[in-house]
Amino acid sequence: MSEQKSNRRGWKIGALVTVVLLLVGGGIGAVTLPTWVEQNANSSIEAKIEAEAESPARSTPGMASPVVEEMKLRITPADGAVEVNPATAPALEVQNGTVESVKLVPASGGGSIEGKLSDGGQVWTAAERLAFNTQYNFTYTVVDGAGRETTKTRSFTTVVPANEANAWTYPLDGMTVGVGQPLQINFSEPVLNKARIEEAISITTSAGQSGEFHWYNDEMLRYRPKEFWEPNSTITIDFKLFGVEFGNGMIGNHDSSVTVNIADKKVAIVDNKTKEMKAYINGELVRTMPATLGMKEWPSTSGVHVVMGQQRYADFNAGTIGLEPGDEHYYPPLTVEYASRISQSGEFVHAALEEALPYLGSLNVSHGCIGLSEANAGWFYKNFGTGDVVKITNSNGAELAPLDGYGDWNISWEDWTQE
Protein backbone atom coordinates (compact mmCIF):
# COMPACT_ATOMS: atom_id res chain seq x y z
CA MET A 1 0.00 0.00 0.00
CA SER A 2 2.84 2.27 0.74
CA GLU A 3 4.29 1.60 -2.66
CA GLN A 4 0.92 2.35 -4.44
CA LYS A 5 0.58 5.67 -2.68
CA SER A 6 4.08 6.54 -3.67
CA ASN A 7 3.35 5.72 -7.31
CA ARG A 8 0.15 7.82 -7.33
CA ARG A 9 2.01 10.72 -5.70
CA GLY A 10 4.73 10.45 -8.28
CA TRP A 11 2.14 10.43 -11.09
CA LYS A 12 0.54 13.60 -9.78
CA ILE A 13 3.90 15.32 -9.52
CA GLY A 14 4.82 14.19 -12.97
CA ALA A 15 1.49 15.42 -14.39
CA LEU A 16 1.97 18.78 -12.74
CA VAL A 17 5.46 19.07 -14.19
CA THR A 18 4.06 18.12 -17.59
CA VAL A 19 1.39 20.88 -17.38
CA VAL A 20 3.98 23.43 -16.34
CA LEU A 21 6.27 22.40 -19.13
CA LEU A 22 3.43 22.62 -21.63
CA LEU A 23 2.49 26.09 -20.39
CA VAL A 24 6.05 27.35 -20.62
CA GLY A 25 6.39 25.83 -24.02
CA GLY A 26 3.28 27.61 -25.17
CA GLY A 27 1.13 24.53 -25.52
CA ILE A 28 -2.61 24.82 -25.73
CA GLY A 29 -3.70 21.78 -23.85
CA ALA A 30 -2.48 23.10 -20.54
CA VAL A 31 -4.85 26.12 -20.62
CA THR A 32 -7.90 24.39 -22.00
CA LEU A 33 -10.68 24.50 -19.42
CA PRO A 34 -13.27 21.90 -18.88
CA THR A 35 -16.36 22.34 -21.07
CA TRP A 36 -18.65 23.45 -18.27
CA VAL A 37 -16.21 26.11 -17.10
CA GLU A 38 -15.80 27.54 -20.61
CA GLN A 39 -19.56 27.76 -21.22
CA ASN A 40 -20.13 29.52 -17.91
CA ALA A 41 -17.38 32.10 -18.56
CA ASN A 42 -18.70 32.95 -22.03
CA SER A 43 -22.19 33.42 -20.69
CA SER A 44 -20.89 35.94 -18.15
CA ILE A 45 -19.06 37.96 -20.79
CA GLU A 46 -22.09 38.07 -23.06
CA ALA A 47 -24.26 39.14 -20.17
CA LYS A 48 -21.86 41.94 -19.29
CA ILE A 49 -21.72 43.19 -22.86
CA GLU A 50 -25.49 43.21 -23.11
CA ALA A 51 -25.87 45.00 -19.79
CA GLU A 52 -23.43 47.73 -20.74
CA ALA A 53 -25.00 48.23 -24.15
CA GLU A 54 -28.37 48.79 -22.56
CA SER A 55 -27.10 50.87 -19.64
CA PRO A 56 -28.61 54.38 -19.52
CA ALA A 57 -25.31 55.84 -18.32
CA ARG A 58 -21.67 54.88 -18.28
CA SER A 59 -19.11 56.13 -15.82
CA THR A 60 -16.43 53.42 -15.78
CA PRO A 61 -14.55 51.61 -18.57
CA GLY A 62 -16.23 48.42 -19.70
CA MET A 63 -15.84 45.64 -22.20
CA ALA A 64 -18.53 46.79 -24.66
CA SER A 65 -17.20 50.21 -25.73
CA PRO A 66 -15.16 53.19 -24.44
CA VAL A 67 -16.69 55.28 -21.67
CA VAL A 68 -19.25 57.94 -22.86
CA GLU A 69 -18.33 61.09 -20.98
CA GLU A 70 -21.13 62.81 -19.13
CA MET A 71 -22.64 65.84 -20.88
CA LYS A 72 -22.29 69.23 -19.25
CA LEU A 73 -24.59 72.13 -20.12
CA ARG A 74 -24.20 75.84 -19.64
CA ILE A 75 -27.44 77.74 -20.20
CA THR A 76 -28.27 81.44 -19.88
CA PRO A 77 -30.51 82.93 -18.58
CA ALA A 78 -31.07 80.71 -15.56
CA ASP A 79 -34.30 78.78 -15.32
CA GLY A 80 -36.99 80.96 -13.72
CA ALA A 81 -34.91 84.14 -14.00
CA VAL A 82 -36.79 87.44 -13.91
CA GLU A 83 -35.89 91.00 -14.93
CA VAL A 84 -33.63 89.56 -17.64
CA ASN A 85 -32.04 92.27 -19.79
CA PRO A 86 -33.60 91.80 -23.26
CA ALA A 87 -30.27 92.70 -24.83
CA THR A 88 -28.73 89.59 -23.27
CA ALA A 89 -28.63 86.87 -25.93
CA PRO A 90 -29.86 83.53 -24.51
CA ALA A 91 -27.32 80.77 -25.14
CA LEU A 92 -26.84 77.00 -24.75
CA GLU A 93 -23.38 75.41 -24.64
CA VAL A 94 -22.80 71.65 -24.53
CA GLN A 95 -19.66 69.78 -23.51
CA ASN A 96 -19.34 66.10 -24.49
CA GLY A 97 -22.36 66.33 -26.75
CA THR A 98 -24.08 68.36 -29.46
CA VAL A 99 -27.14 70.57 -29.79
CA GLU A 100 -29.87 68.83 -31.75
CA SER A 101 -32.51 71.61 -31.67
CA VAL A 102 -33.51 74.76 -29.82
CA LYS A 103 -36.85 76.57 -29.70
CA LEU A 104 -37.10 79.93 -27.94
CA VAL A 105 -40.60 81.40 -28.03
CA PRO A 106 -42.78 83.82 -26.06
CA ALA A 107 -44.91 81.86 -23.62
CA SER A 108 -47.99 83.80 -24.74
CA GLY A 109 -47.44 82.83 -28.37
CA GLY A 110 -45.59 84.20 -31.35
CA GLY A 111 -42.73 83.37 -33.64
CA SER A 112 -39.54 81.67 -32.54
CA ILE A 113 -36.42 83.69 -31.87
CA GLU A 114 -33.84 82.93 -34.55
CA GLY A 115 -30.50 81.57 -33.39
CA LYS A 116 -27.09 80.59 -34.65
CA LEU A 117 -25.43 77.20 -34.12
CA SER A 118 -21.64 76.97 -33.97
CA ASP A 119 -19.76 74.87 -36.55
CA GLY A 120 -19.16 72.07 -34.08
CA GLY A 121 -22.81 72.03 -33.07
CA GLN A 122 -22.00 72.64 -29.43
CA VAL A 123 -23.09 76.26 -28.96
CA TRP A 124 -26.43 77.85 -29.83
CA THR A 125 -26.88 81.62 -29.42
CA ALA A 126 -29.97 83.75 -30.03
CA ALA A 127 -29.50 86.07 -33.00
CA GLU A 128 -32.49 88.36 -32.34
CA ARG A 129 -33.33 90.78 -29.59
CA LEU A 130 -35.90 89.86 -27.03
CA ALA A 131 -38.88 91.98 -26.07
CA PHE A 132 -39.43 93.73 -22.77
CA ASN A 133 -41.97 92.37 -20.27
CA THR A 134 -42.17 88.94 -21.89
CA GLN A 135 -41.93 85.39 -20.55
CA TYR A 136 -40.00 83.04 -22.84
CA ASN A 137 -39.96 79.26 -23.02
CA PHE A 138 -36.53 77.84 -23.87
CA THR A 139 -36.81 74.22 -25.13
CA TYR A 140 -33.72 72.34 -26.21
CA THR A 141 -32.67 68.83 -27.27
CA VAL A 142 -29.06 67.70 -26.84
CA VAL A 143 -27.36 64.42 -27.78
CA ASP A 144 -24.50 62.70 -25.93
CA GLY A 145 -21.67 60.62 -27.38
CA ALA A 146 -23.76 57.44 -27.31
CA GLY A 147 -26.53 59.06 -29.37
CA ARG A 148 -28.94 59.44 -26.48
CA GLU A 149 -31.23 62.50 -26.60
CA THR A 150 -32.22 64.74 -23.70
CA THR A 151 -35.03 67.29 -24.08
CA LYS A 152 -35.92 69.90 -21.49
CA THR A 153 -37.82 73.19 -21.25
CA ARG A 154 -37.01 76.14 -19.02
CA SER A 155 -38.41 79.67 -18.83
CA PHE A 156 -37.42 83.22 -17.92
CA THR A 157 -38.97 86.71 -18.00
CA THR A 158 -37.48 89.95 -19.32
CA VAL A 159 -37.47 93.39 -17.72
CA VAL A 160 -40.94 94.72 -16.87
CA PRO A 161 -42.08 98.24 -17.95
CA ALA A 162 -41.40 99.67 -14.51
CA ASN A 163 -37.70 99.09 -15.13
CA GLU A 164 -37.54 100.43 -18.68
CA ALA A 165 -35.66 103.68 -19.27
CA ASN A 166 -36.07 106.06 -22.18
CA ALA A 167 -34.36 109.15 -23.60
CA TRP A 168 -35.34 111.97 -25.95
CA THR A 169 -33.58 114.92 -27.54
CA TYR A 170 -33.99 118.56 -28.40
CA PRO A 171 -33.75 119.68 -31.15
CA LEU A 172 -36.15 117.14 -32.58
CA ASP A 173 -35.28 114.91 -35.49
CA GLY A 174 -35.21 116.85 -38.76
CA MET A 175 -35.21 120.33 -37.20
CA THR A 176 -33.11 123.17 -38.57
CA VAL A 177 -31.61 125.40 -35.88
CA GLY A 178 -29.02 128.10 -35.45
CA VAL A 179 -25.34 127.72 -34.66
CA GLY A 180 -25.89 128.39 -30.94
CA GLN A 181 -28.29 125.54 -30.22
CA PRO A 182 -26.85 123.02 -27.71
CA LEU A 183 -28.04 119.43 -27.98
CA GLN A 184 -30.10 118.41 -24.99
CA ILE A 185 -30.81 114.80 -23.97
CA ASN A 186 -33.33 114.05 -21.26
CA PHE A 187 -33.68 110.68 -19.56
CA SER A 188 -36.81 109.19 -18.07
CA GLU A 189 -34.82 107.77 -15.14
CA PRO A 190 -31.79 108.98 -13.17
CA VAL A 191 -28.53 107.97 -14.81
CA LEU A 192 -25.91 106.58 -12.46
CA ASN A 193 -23.73 104.89 -15.10
CA LYS A 194 -22.95 108.17 -16.85
CA ALA A 195 -19.78 106.99 -18.59
CA ARG A 196 -21.62 103.99 -20.02
CA ILE A 197 -24.44 106.21 -21.28
CA GLU A 198 -21.97 108.55 -22.97
CA GLU A 199 -20.40 105.55 -24.71
CA ALA A 200 -23.83 104.59 -26.02
CA ILE A 201 -24.41 108.01 -27.64
CA SER A 202 -22.43 108.86 -30.76
CA ILE A 203 -22.52 112.42 -32.16
CA THR A 204 -20.98 113.24 -35.52
CA THR A 205 -21.16 116.25 -37.82
CA SER A 206 -20.72 116.70 -41.55
CA ALA A 207 -18.12 119.36 -40.76
CA GLY A 208 -16.06 116.93 -38.65
CA GLN A 209 -16.68 119.08 -35.59
CA SER A 210 -16.31 117.52 -32.16
CA GLY A 211 -17.77 118.50 -28.82
CA GLU A 212 -18.21 117.37 -25.23
CA PHE A 213 -21.01 116.25 -22.95
CA HIS A 214 -21.95 118.17 -19.82
CA TRP A 215 -24.23 116.71 -17.14
CA TYR A 216 -26.44 119.23 -15.37
CA ASN A 217 -28.09 116.53 -13.27
CA ASP A 218 -28.79 112.80 -13.38
CA GLU A 219 -31.61 113.24 -15.88
CA MET A 220 -30.29 115.91 -18.26
CA LEU A 221 -27.24 115.95 -20.48
CA ARG A 222 -26.16 118.61 -22.98
CA TYR A 223 -23.57 118.57 -25.74
CA ARG A 224 -21.86 121.40 -27.58
CA PRO A 225 -18.60 122.13 -29.39
CA LYS A 226 -15.98 124.54 -28.11
CA GLU A 227 -17.19 127.22 -30.52
CA PHE A 228 -20.55 127.58 -32.24
CA TRP A 229 -21.62 124.89 -34.69
CA GLU A 230 -20.33 125.21 -38.22
CA PRO A 231 -23.04 126.89 -40.33
CA ASN A 232 -24.90 124.76 -42.88
CA SER A 233 -23.65 121.51 -41.37
CA THR A 234 -25.54 118.41 -40.29
CA ILE A 235 -25.43 116.75 -36.88
CA THR A 236 -26.26 113.06 -36.39
CA ILE A 237 -27.01 111.64 -32.95
CA ASP A 238 -26.97 107.83 -32.76
CA PHE A 239 -28.43 106.24 -29.64
CA LYS A 240 -27.49 102.65 -28.77
CA LEU A 241 -29.33 102.52 -25.47
CA PHE A 242 -31.18 99.21 -25.84
CA GLY A 243 -30.14 97.01 -22.94
CA VAL A 244 -27.77 99.60 -21.44
CA GLU A 245 -28.02 99.78 -17.66
CA PHE A 246 -28.76 103.27 -16.36
CA GLY A 247 -28.31 102.16 -12.75
CA ASN A 248 -30.77 101.15 -10.04
CA GLY A 249 -31.95 98.28 -12.24
CA MET A 250 -33.18 100.57 -15.02
CA ILE A 251 -32.55 99.35 -18.58
CA GLY A 252 -32.52 101.41 -21.79
CA ASN A 253 -35.31 100.39 -24.14
CA HIS A 254 -34.41 101.72 -27.59
CA ASP A 255 -31.92 102.52 -30.29
CA SER A 256 -32.56 105.51 -32.53
CA SER A 257 -30.98 108.14 -34.71
CA VAL A 258 -31.66 111.88 -34.80
CA THR A 259 -30.54 114.32 -37.50
CA VAL A 260 -30.29 118.07 -36.85
CA ASN A 261 -29.51 120.67 -39.53
CA ILE A 262 -27.57 123.84 -38.77
CA ALA A 263 -28.57 127.01 -40.63
CA ASP A 264 -26.53 130.08 -41.53
CA LYS A 265 -24.57 131.72 -38.76
CA LYS A 266 -26.78 134.44 -37.28
CA VAL A 267 -25.57 136.50 -34.34
CA ALA A 268 -27.19 139.65 -32.95
CA ILE A 269 -25.11 141.76 -30.57
CA VAL A 270 -26.98 144.11 -28.23
CA ASP A 271 -24.74 146.77 -26.65
CA ASN A 272 -26.13 148.50 -23.61
CA LYS A 273 -23.73 151.40 -24.08
CA THR A 274 -24.95 152.29 -27.55
CA LYS A 275 -28.51 150.95 -27.02
CA GLU A 276 -28.28 149.23 -30.38
CA MET A 277 -28.69 145.74 -31.80
CA LYS A 278 -26.35 144.84 -34.66
CA ALA A 279 -27.38 141.76 -36.65
CA TYR A 280 -24.75 139.67 -38.45
CA ILE A 281 -25.42 136.86 -40.91
CA ASN A 282 -22.42 134.67 -41.78
CA GLY A 283 -20.16 137.35 -40.35
CA GLU A 284 -21.62 140.25 -42.34
CA LEU A 285 -23.38 143.16 -40.64
CA VAL A 286 -26.83 143.31 -42.24
CA ARG A 287 -28.87 145.55 -39.94
CA THR A 288 -28.40 148.03 -37.08
CA MET A 289 -31.46 148.66 -34.87
CA PRO A 290 -32.04 151.10 -31.98
CA ALA A 291 -33.11 149.24 -28.84
CA THR A 292 -34.18 149.60 -25.26
CA LEU A 293 -33.01 147.12 -22.62
CA GLY A 294 -33.94 146.37 -19.03
CA MET A 295 -34.18 149.32 -16.68
CA LYS A 296 -31.83 149.73 -13.73
CA GLU A 297 -34.10 147.81 -11.37
CA TRP A 298 -34.67 145.05 -13.97
CA PRO A 299 -31.45 144.86 -16.00
CA SER A 300 -31.17 142.51 -18.96
CA THR A 301 -28.98 139.50 -18.26
CA SER A 302 -25.61 139.66 -19.97
CA GLY A 303 -23.71 137.13 -22.07
CA VAL A 304 -24.73 134.73 -24.81
CA HIS A 305 -28.43 133.93 -25.23
CA VAL A 306 -30.01 131.57 -27.72
CA VAL A 307 -33.42 132.07 -29.33
CA MET A 308 -35.66 129.42 -27.75
CA GLY A 309 -38.83 129.95 -29.76
CA GLN A 310 -41.05 132.57 -31.35
CA GLN A 311 -44.62 133.85 -31.08
CA ARG A 312 -46.29 136.29 -33.42
CA TYR A 313 -48.31 137.51 -30.43
CA ALA A 314 -47.28 136.88 -26.84
CA ASP A 315 -49.21 137.65 -23.68
CA PHE A 316 -47.19 139.25 -20.87
CA ASN A 317 -48.25 139.21 -17.22
CA ALA A 318 -46.33 141.00 -14.49
CA GLY A 319 -47.29 138.28 -12.04
CA THR A 320 -44.93 135.85 -13.79
CA ILE A 321 -41.97 137.94 -12.62
CA GLY A 322 -43.35 138.43 -9.11
CA LEU A 323 -45.04 141.83 -9.50
CA GLU A 324 -48.51 142.51 -8.11
CA PRO A 325 -50.88 145.48 -8.48
CA GLY A 326 -49.57 148.33 -6.37
CA ASP A 327 -45.90 147.46 -6.96
CA GLU A 328 -43.87 150.33 -8.41
CA HIS A 329 -43.03 148.48 -11.61
CA TYR A 330 -46.25 146.56 -12.02
CA TYR A 331 -47.93 146.63 -15.44
CA PRO A 332 -51.34 145.27 -16.43
CA PRO A 333 -51.55 142.21 -18.70
CA LEU A 334 -50.63 143.07 -22.26
CA THR A 335 -49.87 141.53 -25.65
CA VAL A 336 -46.70 142.19 -27.61
CA GLU A 337 -45.87 141.43 -31.23
CA TYR A 338 -43.00 139.58 -32.87
CA ALA A 339 -41.79 137.96 -29.68
CA SER A 340 -38.61 135.85 -29.76
CA ARG A 341 -37.84 134.25 -26.37
CA ILE A 342 -34.18 134.34 -25.27
CA SER A 343 -34.44 133.17 -21.64
CA GLN A 344 -36.63 130.87 -19.62
CA SER A 345 -37.18 133.59 -17.02
CA GLY A 346 -39.05 135.80 -19.47
CA GLU A 347 -36.65 137.84 -21.62
CA PHE A 348 -37.71 138.38 -25.23
CA VAL A 349 -36.74 140.38 -28.27
CA HIS A 350 -40.05 141.98 -29.27
CA ALA A 351 -41.79 145.07 -30.63
CA ALA A 352 -41.67 147.77 -27.97
CA LEU A 353 -44.92 149.23 -26.65
CA GLU A 354 -45.97 152.51 -28.14
CA GLU A 355 -45.03 154.47 -25.03
CA ALA A 356 -41.49 153.04 -25.18
CA LEU A 357 -40.80 153.98 -28.80
CA PRO A 358 -39.38 157.45 -28.00
CA TYR A 359 -36.69 155.86 -25.84
CA LEU A 360 -35.28 153.39 -28.39
CA GLY A 361 -31.54 153.93 -28.69
CA SER A 362 -31.35 156.23 -25.69
CA LEU A 363 -32.95 154.88 -22.49
CA ASN A 364 -33.74 151.53 -20.93
CA VAL A 365 -37.38 151.18 -19.94
CA SER A 366 -38.14 147.44 -20.11
CA HIS A 367 -38.22 144.71 -17.47
CA GLY A 368 -35.29 142.94 -19.11
CA CYS A 369 -36.53 142.43 -22.66
CA ILE A 370 -34.94 143.88 -25.79
CA GLY A 371 -37.46 146.30 -27.31
CA LEU A 372 -37.26 147.24 -30.99
CA SER A 373 -39.47 149.16 -33.34
CA GLU A 374 -42.26 147.15 -34.90
CA ALA A 375 -40.50 147.08 -38.25
CA ASN A 376 -37.18 145.95 -36.74
CA ALA A 377 -38.82 143.44 -34.43
CA GLY A 378 -40.67 142.03 -37.44
CA TRP A 379 -37.40 141.79 -39.38
CA PHE A 380 -35.69 139.99 -36.49
CA TYR A 381 -38.67 137.65 -36.11
CA LYS A 382 -38.53 136.76 -39.81
CA ASN A 383 -34.77 136.42 -40.21
CA PHE A 384 -33.69 134.95 -36.85
CA GLY A 385 -35.07 131.82 -35.24
CA THR A 386 -34.54 128.91 -32.88
CA GLY A 387 -30.87 128.37 -32.10
CA ASP A 388 -29.67 131.74 -33.37
CA VAL A 389 -27.54 133.84 -31.04
CA VAL A 390 -28.27 137.06 -29.15
CA LYS A 391 -25.32 138.38 -27.19
CA ILE A 392 -25.92 141.17 -24.68
CA THR A 393 -22.88 143.23 -23.72
CA ASN A 394 -22.15 145.97 -21.19
CA SER A 395 -25.28 145.20 -19.22
CA ASN A 396 -25.40 145.69 -15.48
CA GLY A 397 -27.31 142.44 -15.20
CA ALA A 398 -25.87 139.11 -14.12
CA GLU A 399 -24.71 136.67 -16.75
CA LEU A 400 -27.46 134.43 -18.11
CA ALA A 401 -27.46 131.19 -16.11
CA PRO A 402 -26.83 127.99 -18.09
CA LEU A 403 -30.27 126.56 -17.41
CA ASP A 404 -32.18 129.84 -17.80
CA GLY A 405 -32.72 128.86 -21.40
CA TYR A 406 -29.46 128.01 -23.18
CA GLY A 407 -26.78 129.89 -21.32
CA ASP A 408 -24.35 127.02 -21.93
CA TRP A 409 -21.99 129.26 -23.91
CA ASN A 410 -21.38 131.33 -20.79
CA ILE A 411 -19.53 128.39 -19.28
CA SER A 412 -15.83 128.31 -20.14
CA TRP A 413 -14.66 125.31 -22.16
CA GLU A 414 -12.45 124.25 -19.27
CA ASP A 415 -15.40 124.18 -16.91
CA TRP A 416 -17.68 122.64 -19.51
CA THR A 417 -15.43 119.62 -19.91
CA GLN A 418 -15.03 119.05 -16.18
CA GLU A 419 -17.26 116.31 -14.83
Q: Are residues 253 and 330 in the same domain?
A: no
Distances (CA, A) of 32 to 19, 42, 46, 395: 11, 14, 20, 122
Are 400 and 343 within 8 A, CB to CB?
yes
The residue from 214, 305, 367, 369 that is catalytic is 369
Q: What is the overall mean pLDDT for the chain?
A: 87
List the CATH number of the domain containing 92.
Answer: 2.60.40.3780
Q: Answer yes or no: is 317 within a domain.
A: yes
Say yes or no: 256 and 278 in one domain: no
**Global confidence as pTM:** 0.77
When pLDDT is averaged across residues 378-401 and rounded to a whole number, the result is 97
Confidence band (pLDDT; 50, 70, 90) for 67? confident
DSSP code string of 288-302: EEE-B-B-TTSPPPB
**Same domain for 294 and 410:** yes
Indicate the pLDDT class of residue 419, thresholds 50, 70 and 90: low
- 367 labelled catalytic: no
**How many domains is the chain partitioned into structurally?**
4
224 shares its domain with 328: no
Percent of the chain with pLDDT over 90: 77
Residue range 43-48: mean pLDDT, rounded: 40
The CA distance from 259 to 276, in Å, is 36
Q: Does 66 reside within a domain? A: no
Do 207 and 322 lie in one domain? The reply is no
Evaluate whether residue 67 is within a structural domain.
no
- Residues 179 and 153 placed together within one structural domain of the fold: no
Does 29 lie in the same domain as 152?
Answer: no
* Domain-ending residue, one of 159, 193, 210: 159
Domain span at 125: 72-159
Clarify whether 305 is annotated catalytic. no
Looking at 262, 285, 312, the residue that finishes a domain is 262
Does 131 share its domain with 38?
no
List pLDDT tens digits, range 233-249: 999 999 999 999 999 99
Provide the CATH number for the domain around residue 308. 2.40.440.10
Q: 406 and 307 in one domain?
A: yes
User: CA 7 from chain center: how many Å?
Assistant: 103
Span of 169-178, 377-386, 410-419 with lowest mean pLDDT = 410-419
Convert the pLDDT of each residue in 261-293 to its tens digit: 999 999 999 999 999 999 999 999 999 999 999
Look at residue 52 and tell me whether its pLDDT is greater than 90: no
| Cα 313-315-317 angle, rounded to 5 deg | 160
340 and 250 share a domain?
no
